């Protein structure tokens, strides 16, 4: 959903991902010879409920976090690529006659959109992209339509502007995630070709599972389960406040029985949720196997989680790191980047928009 039709010399931009728990910023630059370099990134925590269900409820708090992050980022780049939550976007593939001019295509997209979108067209931001030739043959093309309520886009633009930045690109979180995961899939055996790759993204409140096959999403599902569950378990067991539990979860220093009594059961529950999600995938599609599981989101880096998921599902499980094949600038601590990588996936997909033709 591009807001400005890009000029040939598009200004450099960085990815700005606003999730329910934090604001993530990431700048990737061209390192020459087709290689990329992670130049700088920053993660700023958000107060609880400042963003919930993809809605920005506290514009001021989110703007302040963006300002702090941008200051820490220490970049001169002011243009950003942002994304609206996937749940707020209606997408639909349509088939049109091949070779239509831009204007003819726009008219056709609008008339088709009228049928699928339950809001008046003046209330939505509408965009489309030609995907390629239709399965029926070269006389027809597949076009992807995406529409979202204007306020979802406007809230994000308002945050960027209030923080002194300019939103040049508005994407969809699931599309941004997909572009970053294509980088991860390339590192899998056979570059992941003709394989079913399940992406398990464990956010604060929601676990989303999508299955990619040859860089296309063939299945998605969300389940109410996330890292906040672990925070709640810590609170209940040790009588801590939410804030104390969050801090202890991040920096350690919990009692000796934490691992056996709290962390292990949480990991077991998480792997059961993954197994359930895969069962749903098998029963609702023609597929009966998954070749790899990629773990993403803040909880993905819990030590040993991939082994627990692997044991329960019997599927090769890896923590998603889209930066594995990239260079890094000297200002980046590699060990920290590896830990943060699974929660920077959307930000990475957004940062890669800098290289769009």
Instruction: Please give the residue that has the higher pLDDT: either 4 or 240.
Output: 240
Write the CB contacts of 137 (distance below 8 Å, at least 6 apart in sequence): none
Cα 309 from Cα 314, distance rounded (Å): 8
pLDDT at residue 194, as a whole number: 95
- What are the DSSP E strand ranges found in the chain? 13-18, 22-32, 35-45, 51-52, 55-56, 79-84, 89-97, 124-134, 137-149, 166-172, 196-202, 207-213, 216-223, 292-296, 316-319, 327-328
pLDDT, average across residues 186-204: 93
pLDDT at 7: 44
**How many CA atoms lie within 13 Å of 326's alpha carbon, on the beta-carbon side?**
26
Give the orientation angle of helix 264-284 with respect to helix 227-238, to 10 degrees: 150
Residue 312 binned pLDDT confidence (cut-offs 50, 70, 90): very high
Helix (H, G, I), strand (E, B) or coil at 84: strand
pLDDT tens for each residue of 169-181:
999 999 999 999 9
**Strands 137-149 and 166-172, how do they pair?**
unpaired
- The pTM for the full model equals 0.89
- Whether 147 shows a pLDDT value over 50: the answer reads yes
Structure confidence by residue, pLDDT tens digits, 32-48: 998 999 999 999 999 98
Closest CA to 173 of 299, 47, 86, 282: 86
Domains of the chain, CATH where assigned: 88-150 (3.30.1490.300), 189-323 (3.30.420.40)
For 68-82, 238-252, 268-282, 340-354, which range has the lowest pLDDT when averaged over its residues?
Answer: 238-252
Report DSSP state, residue 39: E
Residue 5: predicted pLDDT: 43
3-state helix, strand, coil in the chain (%, to 5): 40, 30, 25
Q: What is the pLDDT of residue 9?
A: 59
pLDDT band at 266 (very low <50, low <70, confident <90, very high): very high
Return the residue matching tokens 């889209």.
322
């Amino acid at each position: 959903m591009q807001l400005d039709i890009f000029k040939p010399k598009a200004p450099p931009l960085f990815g700005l991902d606003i999730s329910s728990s934090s604001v993530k910023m990431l700048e990737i630059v061209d390192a020459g010879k087709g290689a990329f370099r992670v130049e700088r990134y920053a993660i700023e925590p958000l107060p609880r409920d400042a963003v919930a269900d993809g809605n920005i409820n506290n514009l001021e708090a989110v703007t302040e976090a963006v300002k702090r992050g941008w200051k820490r980022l220490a970049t001169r780049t002011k243009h950003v690529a942002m994304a609206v939550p996937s749940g707020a976007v209606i997408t639909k593939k349509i088939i049109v006659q091949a070779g239509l001019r831009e204007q003819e295509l726009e008219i056709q997209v609008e008339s088709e959109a009228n049928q699928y979108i339950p809001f008046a067209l003046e209330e939505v931001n509408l965009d489309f992209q030609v995907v390629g030739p239709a399965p029926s043959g070269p006389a027809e093309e597949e076009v992807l339509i995406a529409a979202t309520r204007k306020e979802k886009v406007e809230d994000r633009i308002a945050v960027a502007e209030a923080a002194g930045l300019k939103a040049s690109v508005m994407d969809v979180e699931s599309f941004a995630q997909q572009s970053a995961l294509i980088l991860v899939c390339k590192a899998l055996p056979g570059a992941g070709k003709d394989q079913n790759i399940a992406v398990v993204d464990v956010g604060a409140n929601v676990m989303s599972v999508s299955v990619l096959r040859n860089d296309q999403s063939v299945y998605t599902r969300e389940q109410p389960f996330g890292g906040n569950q672990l925070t709640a378990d810590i609170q209940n067991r040790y009588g801590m406040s939410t804030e104390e539990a969050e801090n202890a979860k991040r920096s350690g220093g919990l009692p000796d029985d934490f691992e056996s009594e709290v962390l292990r059961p949480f990991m077991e529950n998480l792997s059961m949720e993954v197994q359930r999600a895969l069962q749903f995938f098998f029963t609702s599609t023609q597929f009966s196997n998954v070749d790899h599981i990629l773990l993403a989101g803040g909880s993905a880096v819990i030590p040993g989680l991939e082994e627990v998921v692997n044991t329960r599902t019997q599927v090769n499980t890896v923590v998603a790191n889209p930066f594995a094949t990239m260079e890094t600038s000297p200002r980046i601590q590699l060990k920290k980047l590896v830990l943060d990588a699974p929660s920077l996936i959307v930000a990475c997909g957004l940062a890669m928009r800098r290289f769009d033709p």
